[in-house]
Amino acid sequence: MMEIISTTAAAAAKAAARVAGQVERTDLIRSDAFSEALAANVWFKLENLQTTGSFKLRGATNRLMTLSEEDRAKGCVTASSGNHGAATACAMQKLGVKGVIFVPEQTSKAKVDKIKGYGGDVRLFGTDGLDTEQHAREFAEQNEMPYLSPYNDNEVVAGQGTCGIEILEQLPDVDVVFIAVGGGGLIAGVGAVLKTHNPNIRIYGCQPSQSAVMMRSVEAGEILDLESGRTLSDGTAGGIEAGSITFPLNEAIVDDWVSVDEPAIAEAMRRYMNDEGHTIEGAAGVAIAAMIERQDEIAGKNAVVVICGGNISDEVLEQVKSGNV
């Protein structure tokens, strides 16, 4: 398993050189409020302040830049719960590539508008991230266009791994990291980089209990077809493609899994927004809530939480702030 980890870390290093100047180097800040409350040194990696408002620009940019000129000319197809779509639209706009972006029907208006704002051709299909992905793949095949998976792609995972490279440059002696998991691309890329640097860094995979597909799949030893309930963490909701490359990476990299319920996610979001002053989305709240739940395990340690995104609709934000969740 160490071979798959080191290979992914090496690909992330190449991705970092490739996307330099195309993506932002986001800040890693120490939180006085959370550090004092949890008796640890708590650091937040601010991917919510990345261009497009999430870490997804890293993977999308790297993937597009590794396509041949011939494939770029055909135009690209992708599927997304919102953030990967916005990131792909932004990267395509920068690189002069056309494309179609499929999103689930329940995707928040804020995320759809963001995709359109970058010139993306948005089309609605499906009610679960997995059926949207399957439809997008079929569309790509029928139209002989490259398909850009939001997570099931080595170059996408490598691109997400550039976030881990920055964490190590900013805090070399990190002890534990909390990362929200959907398809598993972010934790696969970041985790591979961190584990290659120091196998003793503890990686926590964090999921909403309403959609803990990767967690349950790893427990079962195979990718499961599970239904997802409604969750504030729309960015991590939905199923996982059969045969996804992220599954063995998550098996090898994640040391512990934490699932958190909706009240815990909402409370974590409120607490972060009150103390840190940044608006965040539900997926980021999942990682914060998981850290709070495991606070006894991080006492005295350097703990990093990846604030994976900040894209949230005004309606949901108001519900969270008012406590009506």
pLDDT, one tens digit per residue, over 87-98 is 999 999 999 999
Domains of the chain listed by start with CATH number: 2-55+154-322 (3.40.50.1100), 56-148 (3.40.50.1100)
Neighbours of 44 (CB within 10 A): 25
* Distance of alpha carbon 89 from alpha carbon 84, whole angstroms: 8
pLDDT digits (tens, 9 = 90+) for 176-232: 999 999 999 999 999 999 999 999 999 999 999 999 999 999 999 999 999 999 999
pLDDT digits (tens, 9 = 90+) for 11-51: 999 999 999 999 999 999 999 999 999 999 999 999 999 99
* Distance of alpha carbon 229 from alpha carbon 279, whole angstroms: 24
Does residue 236 contact residue 207 with C-beta atoms inside 8 Å? yes
Q: Which two tokens stand for residue 114?
A: 């963001």
Strands of the chain, DSSP E = 28-30, 41-46, 76-79, 99-103, 121-124, 147-148, 176-180, 202-208, 256-260, 302-307
Does residue 253 contact residue 191 with C-beta atoms inside 8 Å? yes
pLDDT digits (tens, 9 = 90+) for 292-313: 999 999 999 999 999 999 999 8
Question: At a CB cut-off of 8 Å and minimum separation 6, what does 203 contact?
Answer: 176, 177, 179, 187, 191, 194, 195, 253, 254, 255, 256
Q: Is the dihedral of CA 81, 86, 92, 93 positive or negative?
A: positive
Q: What is the mean pLDDT of residues 76-92?
A: 92
Neighbours of 259 (CB within 10 A): 19
pLDDT digits (tens, 9 = 90+) for 255-286: 999 999 999 999 999 999 999 999 999 999 99
* Distance of alpha carbon 30 from alpha carbon 108, whole angstroms: 31
pTM of the full structure: 0.95
| One-letter amino acid for residue 302 of the chain | N
Q: N- to C-terminal Cα distance for the chain?
A: 41
Q: What is the mean pLDDT of residues 146-150?
A: 95
Percentage of the chain beyond pLDDT 70 is 100
Backbone angles phi, psi at 101, to 5 degrees: -125, 115
Q: What is the DSSP letter of 193?
A: H
Question: At a CB cut-off of 8 Å and minimum separation 6, what does 325 contact?
Answer: 232, 262, 263, 265, 266, 319
Q: Is the pLDDT of residue 233 over 70?
A: yes
pLDDT of amino acid 1: 63
Looking at per-residue pLDDT, the higher value among 244 and 114 belongs to 244
pLDDT of amino acid 114: 87
The model's confidence at residue 128, banded by pLDDT at 50, 70 and 90, is confident
Instruction: Tell me the sheet residues that pair with 180.
Output: 206
Percentage of the chain beyond pLDDT 90 is 88
CA 227 to chain centre: 20
* Distance of alpha carbon 149 from alpha carbon 80, whole angstroms: 8
